[in-house]
Amino acid sequence: MSFKLGILGTGSSANSYVLQEFDRSVMIDNGFSLKETLRRMNGIHQDPRLLRAILMTHDHQDHTRGVCALSRKFSLPVFIPRGMGFESSQAPEKEALKEMSLFQETRIAGFQIFGFNTLHDVRVSAGYSIKGKSATVTIITDTGNWDDTMIELARHSDVLVLESNFSGDMLWAGSYPIFLKQRVAQYHLSNLEAGRFLAKLSRFPNRIKEIVLVHLSSNNNTPERVLAEVTAVLQQSPWASIPALVVQNASPKTPSGRTRLWVLPKNASWCYTQDQGVGK
């Protein structure tokens, strides 16, 4: 297979993604320990020796915890959005850090990387659209809003990874203190907003093969809630009958000939492979 996307896991405790094309790969974030990272990569048939770089979305521990150890072990540069800084205790060696500008294309390990701003409670946070020779993946997580730039990048992607963090009903009726409820609502996408994003996206010409809904809250969401609330929004859209499934295992997914929607439970893994030329 010439192109592979692996999601090691997502959620409030740890997040990490790996894109591989031919004999090279890049990782986006890593909140897992080194041992767990290697175990999970092996479980979705990703070879850590092919890693060429790590890209960071923002400086929260569920995205940074395992970056330093992995960078040291495989001598990997760590690319951060300009202005982000790296304040966590797990910061990589200074010489490993590389700044990159958002809203302009950067070539890293043969991939064309386009970073864009997300709305989160940090100084700088980013999402990425990553283009290889045979496929493009756009990752939009940890954001309190979405905009037309994200729609435009998503519609030119083969795979869209999108946050669907919380159910509004569960959040506001839950036990969190009010300040924390407000923070979640301000800086993460709800199931409703994820559904609205997809409904708008479905009305544009697009080439999306797979949509993966990720970063589910442990306390304010369930995979079943995501499925119900997102598909309810889609009922008045061209994706009203989109196949929608909760991920049950990490067996590799391949293009099926139609757009599919996946809900990834907390800490579950997901893998997608695409032959060269399919996404061109």
Tell me the sheet residues that pair with 145.
none
Asked if 74 contacts 48 with a C-beta cutoff of 8 angstroms, the reply is yes
What is the domain count for the chain?
1
User: What's the angle, vertex CA 145, arms to CA 37 and CA 258, rounded to 5?
Assistant: 65
pLDDT of residue 279: 47
Beta strands in the chain (DSSP E): 3-9, 16-21, 24-30, 51-55, 78-81, 97-100, 105-108, 111-117, 126-131, 136-140, 159-163, 210-214, 244-246, 260-263, 270-274
Residue 147 lies in a domain: yes
* Residue 278 located in a structural domain: no
Q: Is there a domain that residue 280 lies in?
A: no
In a domain, 50, yes or no: yes
- pLDDT tens for 269-278 read 999 999 865 5
Q: Domain range holding 125? A: 3-269
3-state helix, strand, coil in the chain (%, to 5): 30, 30, 45
**Residue 169 domain flag:** yes
pLDDT in the model for residue 88: 64
Query: Rounded distance, CA 216 to CA 5, Å?
Result: 19
Any domain includes 29: yes
> Pick the residue with more confidence: 42 or 88?
42
Q: What is the pLDDT of residue 128?
A: 98
DSSP secondary structure string, 233-279?
HGGGSTTTT--EEE----PPB---SS-EEEE--TT--EEEEE-TTTT
> Which amino acid would we find at residue 111?
F
Beta-carbon contacts of 182 under 8 Å, excluding residues fewer than 6 positions away, are none
Identify the residue whose tokens are 């290697």.
38
**In the predicted model, is pLDDT for residue 198 greater than 80?**
yes
pLDDT in tens, 92-133: 777 899 999 999 999 999 999 999 999 999 999 999 999 999
CATH code of the domain in which 200 resides: 3.60.15.10
Q: What is the mean pLDDT of the chain?
A: 94
* pLDDT digits 0-9 by tens, 250-268: 889 999 999 999 999 998 9
Q: Given pLDDT bands bounded at 50, 70 and 90, which one contains residue 280? A: very low
Q: Which residue has the higher pLDDT, 61 or 52?
A: 52
In a domain, 275, yes or no: no
Q: pLDDT tens digits for 66-100?
A: 999 999 999 999 999 998 877 666 677 778 999 99
Q: Is 238 within a domain?
A: yes
